[in-house]
Each structure stands twice: as C-alpha cells, then as structure tokens.
Chains A and B, each alone.
Chain A
Amino acid sequence: MSYLELNDVSKDFGAASVLKDINLSVEKGEFVAIVGFSGAGKTTLISLIAGLLKPSGGTMKLNDLEITAPGPDRGIVFQNYSLLPWLSVFENILLAVDSVNPNWSADKKKAHVEKYIAMVNLTPARDKKPGELSGGMRQRVSVARALAMDPQILLLDEPLSALDALTRATLQDEISRIWSEDKKTVVLITNDPDEGIYLADRIIPLTAGPGATLGPSFKVEIPRPRDRKSINHDPHFKQLRREIVEFMLNSKQDRHTAITRKLILPDIEPEDLNIPRSMTGWRKTPIRKSELKEESVEVKP
C-alpha cells in the first residue's frame, strides 16, 4: 500500500471534464514531479489531493485514510503564494504554526517560526508585509509556512515558475536540500521538465487538457546529490528529457477539435448601390442568403 493513492480520480467543472482516469501512487519519502502544460489541470489535481476540491469520481487515500478535507498532514505551497497581505512574514507563518500546535508556549512558537524564516534566508524581512516583498521572497515565505507546519507530505504547485532563472536555481537547490534533510514526501507540480528531472525521483507527465490524464512514470536514475552543471551532459538526463517532451507533445497532437464557424462571403453579383448603406458602414447580417457559408476548421490546441 502506497502512502498516497489516487484511483480513477476524475474532476469536471459542470460539463467540462478537466481531469479523468487519474491513477497515482506515491511512496513515503518519495519525490514525485508532475509536468504538464499550462491549463492542463495541474492546480486542480493538487487541490484535489489537498482536499480543497471534491473529486467527481474515484477514490483518494493518504496513509490509508480517505481524503475528504484539508489537513495539517499536507503542507501546500500555492501557485500564487496565497499569503495574507495584512500580516507580516512572521505573522503569516505564526498563524500556521499556531493552528497546528496550539498547545506550545509562545516562546516555543516564536523560536519555531524564526527557525523557518532563517531557513529560507528571510530573517531581514521578518516584519515586512507580503506587498513589500519580491515574488521570489513571497514564494520563500510560502515554502517556509508549509514547512513550519511540519507536514508529512508537501504539495508544491509550480512554486518556482514565477521566478527568474537565477533565483529559481537557488530555490531548486534549497528545495532539494530541505527534502534530503527531512525526507518528506513531495509532490511537485511544474511546467519545466528540466526542473522535474533535476529534483525528483520520478516524473509523471500530465497530458494536455481537456480531460487530462497522467502518462507513464519516468524514473530518474541520476544519483544524488545531483550537480546542476554536469547533469546537462548526462546521457540519461538528455534521453529522459527527450522522452518526456516527446510524450507531452504527442499528447497534444492527438486531439483535434473541429470548430464550425459562420462565414459571410461576398456575393459575385454587384451590390445595388441604390439601397442605402447602414449608418455604421459595416453590416453584420448578409444582404443575400447566398453569402452565408459554414466552414469547419480543424484546430490543434
């Protein structure tokens, strides 16, 4: 029995099917990356695991217990940081610590919060409001808040995609370090296959939506600690990347949607100039029936 198990999970919003046939099992201590296109349903998937959304079908189990609501066992780093703008960095994290460990003494809570602020190198910004921080700093606060709750599993929704390449690399190393120290189970959502390969034990692509589903797992057999510079020349890395990108592009090309649209074609007969033109000078409706045509176009998303 795996630590996290999703069986045939699906999610629709009204008539729109976003996710279907999702099967995922994650072992305890494993680092899994899920790669997918923008809009495929990655945030939806993580919200399901977090318990913020109810699945339309299928079962989800964490530690052999059905997932029904959010819980302190799952720490989440939201894609848009989701810090409370009226609280300082310290207060944002304290709020989380406070609700997980209500019985701790005030000093213990304070020390705990400060430890995690230091861990993400934000001690100088301790008393700043999120609005005064850069995107990367906010993201680090968000990571610190999730870690400070000491969850058993970390759900990271594109935690680094809003950052510049340099900050991104630094934070990737930080995530890697935190993971190897604590050996927490991590599910990382990303749109960058390289990031997934660099960090994870296993990469699972999410096919393009609508009705996205998880593809086959790609195991990353690169020994840790991984070195950012040399990994680019590793033949296994190159091959993995090629396979993942190929799989994802193929999943996109599979779906052809036909769109039918109305066209108004000019008639070959000359217009009767005695008929006054409409005031706006542009007519939406055709004058003659024969101008109406329908056209069907294949669209590749």
Chain B
Amino acid sequence: MKSFKLDWLVLPLIGVAAVLVLWQISCASWAKDLPTPEKTWQVSKPYIVEPFAKRGEMDQGILRFTWYSLILVAKGYALALIIGTPIGFFLGLSKTFTKIFDPLIQVLRPVSPLAWLPLGLVLFTSAGKNASELGALFTIAICSMWPTVMNTAVGVRAIPQDYLNVAKVLKLSRTKTLFKVLIPATLPYMFTGFRLSLGIAWLVIVAAEMLTGQPGVGGFLWQEYNSLIYEHIILCIVTIGVVGFILDRLMSVVEKKFKTA
C-alpha cells in the first residue's frame, strides 16, 4: 500500500474501527453479556470526564485509580531496580557468583505473579493492615527485576576489553573503575532491562490489585466484575493498555538517549 499524507493517523484508525465493528457484531451474535461499544461509553463517561473524582473508596475517576496504581508500581519497580541492578553486576563480574545463583534465577524467573502473591501475603501477615500492599510490592519487585538482572549481567560481560585495559593502565581504584568505566559502559543494556522491567511491573500490578482488592485500576476492574458492571471492565482494560503503552514509550525515549551517548 502506498503511503499518503496522514497515513500514520488514518491507518491506525481503520484498525480501531475494525475492532469496534467486530465488537458490535459479537454483542449482537454470540456474546450476549458483552456490553456494546455505545453502552460502554455511556456507562464509563462519568469516570472519564471527571477523571479525578472521588465518590467513595471504590468509586473514583479512572485517572485517580490509575494514579494509585502508578504509585504502587513506582515503589515496587524502584525496589526491583535497587535489588536487580547489583545482582546483575555481580552476575556479570563473577563467574563463581553466576555458577551459584544462575540456576536459581532461571528457575524463579518463569514463576507467575499469581503464584508469588499469596507467598507475599504470607510473608507480611504480621504487618496487619499493610500486608496486602507489602505483598503486592514484593510480587512486583520479584517478578519485574529479572529483565534488569539479566540485561545488566549481559551488559557487564559485553564491556569491551579496551575499556577494561584503560582502567588497568590508568590504575583506577575499584570505585573509580565502577563509576567511570563499568557503569557507563553497561548503561545502555541496563536501560533496556529497566524498560522491560517496567512493562512487567505494570502487568503485575493489575493482577496484584485484583487479588488484594487494593484501590487502583486492577482493583476497580475486579470489583466491577463482581458487581456485574461489565462496561467498566472494558474501560479498565483500555486504560491499562494506554498507560502501559505510554510508560513504554517514555522509557524507550530515555533508553535511546543512553544508546546514542
């Protein structure tokens, strides 16, 4: 297909339109409980036009919920980076460390957030009221740190010998070598890991909120499912998708900056 003016806008709109049509047809034919696009819009409207309204604990504007979710993600994600980056460095620098922990990491990596969450809740039962938040943080951190760990380790291993030789010839101290050579040389890899980690953290938040009933997009979604307000499920899905997309874009802008540097 030939490209034309505004094709970047028109073509994606065609895709959206196609999905809407398919959605409408589904409502009319086999998915009788699925709300139609129009009904979804009407029921969701108050949550979108007043995105920061607070009418009750579980009845708030969609951006307010998103904000809660983002804060929780930010905490868990920060935890993942703070723990994951040093582990990645150790894996990249030490063969012994790799031999000891790599099998463990490979086994823990594919475990689903749904499996970690109950363990998180058990770990923090003594925290009482905060147990569900801490459990959610634990789950986000442990699920989202693996890309950071793996990419940092690969980045450290990929540091050109030339740079290490420079460090040796200049007799740089350990801290200088770390901050002037190792970290700058690994940064592009680290940021790829950070971006992937953020994607996973955002995936996990929804599951964590659903299971713990925390206020947020995921918690809202689950509550509305139980209250049979299916329109809001769709609203939440779209919100989660859009926010995830925006986060990924933002991170890739940062990542690019470090790639070219």
Q: Do A and B bind each other?
A: yes
Q: A84 to B166, Cβ gap below 8 A?
A: yes
Is there contact, CB below 8 Å, between A80 and B169? no
Contact check, B171 vs A71: say whether CB atoms are below 8 A apart. Answer: yes
Kindly state the separation between the CA atoms of A74 and B168 in the bound complex, as whole angstroms.
Answer: 12
Q: Please tell me if A96 contacts chain B, counting CB pairs below 8 Å.
A: yes
- A118–B144 Cα distance when bound, in Å, is 50
Known contacts: A86-B184, A95-B180. The answer to whether A70 contacts B162 by CB under 8 A is no
Chain A nearest Cβ from B249, distance in angstroms: 25
Given contacts A86-B184, A99-B176, contact A80 B162 (CB under 8 A): yes
Q: Would you give the 0/1 interface string for B173-205, flagging 1 where the beta carbon is closer than 8 Å to chain A?
A: 100100011001101000000000000000000
Residue among B163, B170, B184, B185 making CB contact with A99, cutoff 8 Å = B170
> Which chain A residues lie closer than 8 Å to B181 at the CB level?
84
Question: A52 an interface residue at 8 Å Cβ cutoff?
Answer: yes
Q: Let me know if A76 and B172 touch, CB within 8 A.
A: no
| Interface residue B104 (Cβ < 8 Å from any Cβ of A) | no
Residues of A within 8 A of B261 (CB): 85-86
| B180 cross-chain contacts in A, Cβ below 8 A | 84, 87, 95
Which chain A residues lie closer than 8 Å to B169 at the CB level? 50, 52, 70, 74, 76
Bound-complex Cα distance A70 to B165 (A):
9
Q: Who on chain A is nearest to B168 by CB?
A: A70
Complex CA distance for A170 and B170, rounded to whole angstroms: 27
Please report the C-alpha to C-alpha distance between residue A202 and residue B184 in the assembled complex, in whole angstroms.
41
Interface SS, B side: helix
In chain A between 92 and 118, which residues have their CB closer than 8 angstroms to a CB of chain B? 95-96, 99-100
Q: Which of B176, B180, B185: most chain A Cβ within 10 A?
A: B180
Closest chain A residue, CB of each to CB of B171: A99
Question: B172 to A99, Cβ gap below 8 A?
Answer: yes
Do A82 and B170 have beta carbons less than 8 Å apart? no
- Within 8 Å of chain B (Cβ to Cβ): is A136? no
Could you give, for residues 42-86 of chain A, a 1 whenever the CB lies within 8 Å of some chain B CB and a 0 otherwise?
000001001110000000000000000111101010101011111
A84-B181, A86-B184, A86-B261 are contacts. A95–B162 as well, Cβ < 8 Å? no
Contact of A82 among B162, B173, B184 (CB under 8 A): B162
Q: Which interface class (under 10, 10 to 19, 20 to 34, 35 or more) fits B? A: 10 to 19
Partner of A78 from the list B165, B173, B184, B187 (CB cut-off 8 Å) is B165
Q: Mark A209-222, 1 if CB is under 8 A from B, else 0.
A: 00000000000000
Inter-subunit contact A95/B170 (CB<8 Å) = yes
Determine whether the beta carbon of A72 is less than 8 Å from that of B163.
Answer: no
Chain A residues with CB below 8 A from B170, complex form: 72, 95-96, 99-100, 149
Cα distance A80–B160 when bound, in Å?
Answer: 12
Q: Is the CB of B166 within 8 A of A82?
A: yes
Question: Which A-chain residue is minimally distant from B166 (CB atoms)?
Answer: A82
Given A84-B181, A95-B180, A99-B176, is A52 in contact with B168 using a C-beta cutoff of 8 Å? yes
Q: Please measure, in the bound complex, the distance between the C-alpha atom of A224 and the C-alpha atom of B165, giving whole angstroms.
A: 35
Q: Which residues of B contact A86 (CB under 8 A)?
A: 184-185, 187, 261
Q: Specify which chain B residues have a CB less than 8 angstroms from the CB of A84 in the assembled complex.
A: 163, 166, 180-181, 184
- List CB contacts (< 8 Å) of A144-199 with chain B: 149
Q: Are B171 and A70 in contact (CB under 8 A)?
A: yes
State in angstroms the CA–CA spacing of A29 and B181 once bound together: 33
Contacts of A149 in B (CB 8 A): 170
Residues of B close to A72: CB separation below 8 A: 170-171
Which chain A positions have C-beta within 8 A of B168? 51-52, 69-70
Interface residues in chain B, defined as those with a beta carbon under 8 Å from any beta carbon in chain A: 162-163, 165-166, 168-173, 176, 180-181, 184-185, 187, 261
* Given A82-B165, A100-B170, A100-B171, 15 further pairs, Cβ under 8 A: A52-B165, A52-B168, A70-B169, A71-B171, A72-B170, A82-B166, A84-B163, A84-B166, A84-B181, A85-B261, A86-B184, A87-B180, A95-B172, A99-B170, A99-B176
Query: Can you show 30 pairs from A to B with CB atoms below 8 A apart?
Result: A50-B169, A51-B168, A52-B169, A69-B168, A70-B168, A70-B169, A72-B170, A72-B171, A74-B169, A76-B169, A78-B162, A78-B165, A82-B165, A82-B166, A84-B163, A84-B166, A85-B261, A86-B184, A86-B185, A86-B187, A86-B261, A87-B180, A95-B170, A95-B172, A95-B176, A96-B170, A99-B171, A99-B172, A99-B173, A100-B171
Q: What are the 5 tightest A-B residue pairs by CB atom distance, in nearest-first order?
A: A86-B184, A82-B162, A70-B169, A70-B168, A99-B170
